[in-house]
A and B are shown apart, each in its own frame.
Chain A
Amino acid sequence: MHYLRLIALAVALATLGGCAGFAPPQPWEKGDLARPSMQFDPDVLAARTTQHIYTSKEGANGGYGVGGGGCGCN
């Protein structure tokens, strides 16, 4: 019975990763992500301005969008 508890504990630790263990969507499955309602910002121009400000203040880039392409392509 102790072995079973040990295995159960190992499984519990493994599932602590949650959904991070699942594969991200394949490139051909990104249809729903490309919908306009899936964008973070409703106003594209304002979003671009804000992103530019963040980029210049942080001196770093990236970390937004869907897999490198905002339209869901690739």
Chain B
Amino acid sequence: MPLDPLSRLLSLALVAVGSALPLPALAVDAGQPAPAFALPRAAGDALTLESLKGRVVFVDFWASWCAPCKRSFPWMNELQKKYGDKGFTIVAINVDKRRADADRFLAQVPAGFAVVYDPEGRTPAAYGVKGMPSSYLIDARGNVVQVESGFNDEHAAAIDERIRALVAAR
């Protein structure tokens, strides 16, 4: 039964609105298991959260357009140097839509830790990222212990203490 033009247009509108409805963002809080991910590094090889089980992992979501990230990267470099051989790994997940933007940032602010790329934004959605930058400290058993949104020096000191306690408790 063919629809008249008005009804046809309105049915199309219904489909358009229905398909644009957003999925609810699941927030990952402290005490919950960290969602798994498998994301490519710059060279193309994949880094999975599964492979880091048994290590304390600091997952940081960053982007080239995120100003506080310019301050957080040198701090994360220090962290990696301090605790890297004690079973601590930083995974910095880049959410830039264009790889060139991320490369430009890394040329200015070098990273001494693992950087992986998620331009589709599925991993920040899975983690329920509320602001940029966001960091999730994950213990050796794979549970999130601390979530931080934004970057400032007080938070940095608190996370440093937390990491020290977690690597000691591994």
Contacts and interface: CB of A to CB of B under 8 A. Distances in A.
A31 B65 contact: yes
Which size class do B's interface residues fall under? 20 to 34
B6 A28 contact: no
Contacts of A22: 20, 22
- Classify the secondary structure of B's interface with A: loop
A73 B66 contact: yes
Given A22-B20, A31-B63, A11 B130 contact: no
A22 to B, nearest CB: 5
Interface string B93-113: 001110001000000000000
A contact face: mostly helix, strand, loop, or mixed:
helix
On chain A, which size bracket covers the interface? 20 to 34
Contact of B124 (A21, A26, A35): A26
B129 A27 contact: yes
B84 to A, nearest CB: 26
B43 interface: no
Interface in B53-104: 61, 63-68, 95-97, 101
